[in-house]
Amino acid sequence: MTLALISTETTEEPSCKASVAAPAPKGGAQIGARIGVKAARRPSELLQRDGAHDVAVAIPDDFELDFGGTLTQKRVIGRLHGKANAPLIVVAGGISADRYVHRTETKGLGWWSGAVGVRAPIDLTRFRVLAFDFAPEFGEGVKDATTPLTITTQDQARLLALLLDHLGVEKVAAFIGCSYGGMIALAFGELFPDWAEQLVVVSAAHRPHPLATAWRGIQRRILQLGLETGRIDQAVGLARELAMTTYRTQEEFGDRFDSEAPSHAGQAYPVCDYLQARGRAYRDRTTPSRWLSLSDSIDRHRVEPEAISAPVTLIGFTTDRLCPIEDMRELADRLPNLWRFEQHASVYGHDAFLKEDKLVADILTSVLKDIDQ
C-alpha cells in the first residue's frame, strides 16, 4: 500500500491537498501487532527522500478512543524532515506544537528550531525527524467541534503509530517529547515497549500534578464561558494570559516587570500589557474546543512507569511549577530502565526547553551521540 502525498523542498510549505492512504485495519489491531508478533515492514519510499515532506494517513473508521467514541477527522498528518534513510527520531512538544518543528519558508521558524536543524543537536544532516499534529485537528477549513473531544495521551500515541506503521519504521531511534509530547512519549513506551530504542522525556511525568490541574481547570472554565457567551476571542486570550503565568517563574517576572504603578486605577501595569499581547497573539493558534480537549488530555494522563522497558532519559527543571521536579523524581524512581536524569534550574520554568538552547543542546547532543548511522 503506497501513500500518495504532497512533497516539498525543505524550505517550502506543502499543499494540504495530499491524498491519503486507504484505511488500515482497526486502530488498535494493526499496531497491536507490535505488542505481540511483529510483522516485517518494508520502509516507505518517503524515508528514502531527503528534505521535508508531509505524510497523511487515513484514520480507520473503527479507530476507537480510550473513553469511547471516534474521531471526526479523517487523517493524521505528520511531517518528515532531514536526511533520507537515516535513523528516525520522533519529536513532540506542548499542546501548541505541530508538525512544523523545523523552519519553513512560509511558516517561519519551527516551534523547536533551536534544537532541530542542520548541525543542531537533532541534526537534520544526520537524522530523519518525524513530527505530527495532535488530534483534534486544527487549521484552515477545519470546523471547530461543538463539544470537546475526550482523548488520552495513549490515543495520541496510537495515532502516531499509524504514521510509523505506514512508513514501515521498524525502530524509532529516539522519541523526544517535551511537556505534553513527553506525556505522549511515556504513553508510547507503555503501549509499544519495543518500538522506540530510547525515550527522552522533558518536563513531563507519569501523571499531572493536582495544582497544575487546578490552574488548567480555571483556564477551561474561562474557555467554556467564552463559548457560552459568544466571546470566544476574549476567552482564548484571557485563558492564555493565565497560562503564561504558570509557564514561567516568579524570578523572571520579577526581573522583567518590577516597575512603578500606572498613574490611575484601571490602567494596565507593564506585566499586564505583556500578558494581553501574548493572549492576543494566541487567538489564531487554537480554538476553544480544541484547547479544552488537549487541556483535559493533559489532566487525564496516566501511565505506569514500571511498564516502560525502553531506556529513558529525563530532563527536568527545578523551577518548573507545572511539572514539579518531585514528580519527575518519583517517575525516575519507578522507571525500570532509567539512563540518566538531568535536573537544572532555569528562570524560564516550564518553558525552559524552549528557551535554554545551549543547556538543552548539550544534553541532547550527549544523549544522541551513540545512535548508529
pLDDT at 39 over 60: no
Residues 66 and 177 occupy one common structural domain: yes
pLDDT at 40 over 70: no
Domain boundary among 276, 298, 320: 298
33 contact partners, CB below 8 Å, separation of at least 6:
39
> Catalytic pick from 54, 296, 320, 351?
320
Whole-number pLDDT of residue 161 = 98
pLDDT at 188 over 90: yes
Q: What does the pLDDT average to over 129-145?
A: 83
> Catalytic pick from 98, 123, 166, 179?
179
Mean pLDDT score across all residues of the chain? 87
- Structural domain for 334, as ranges: 27-207+303-368
Whole-number pLDDT of residue 30 = 45
pLDDT at 297 over 70: yes
pLDDT at 327 over 70: yes
What is the Cα–Cα distance from 209 to 187, expressed in whole angstroms? 17
Residues 247 and 332 occupy one common structural domain: no
Percent of the chain predicted with pLDDT > 70: 86
Active site residue 259: no
Whole-number pLDDT of residue 103 = 79
Residues 86 and 132 occupy one common structural domain: yes
Q: What does the pLDDT average to over 112-141?
A: 91
State which amino acid sits at residue 227.
Answer: L
What are 373's three cell numbers?
A: 548511522
Whole-number pLDDT of residue 4 = 35
Active site residue 301: no
pLDDT at 52 over 60: yes
pLDDT at 16 over 70: no
**Pick from 162, 180, 164: nearest CA to 172:** 164
> Catalytic pick from 53, 81, 166, 350?
350
| pTM score, whole prediction | 0.88
Whole-number pLDDT of residue 208 = 98
Active site residue 320: yes
Instruction: Indicate which CATH number applies to the domain containing 176.
Output: 3.40.50.1820
Domain boundary among 298, 313, 344: 298
pLDDT bin (cut points 50, 70, 90) of residue 225 is: very high
pLDDT bin (cut points 50, 70, 90) of residue 139 is: low
Distances (CA, A) of 44 to 5, 52, 286: 12, 15, 32
Residues 161 and 106 occupy one common structural domain: yes
57 contact partners, CB below 8 Å, separation of at least 6:
3, 20, 21, 24, 75, 76, 77, 78, 162, 163, 166
Residues 126 and 267 occupy one common structural domain: no
Query: What are the pLDDT digits (tens) for 63-108?
Result: 999 999 899 999 999 999 999 999 999 999 999 999 999 976 556 7
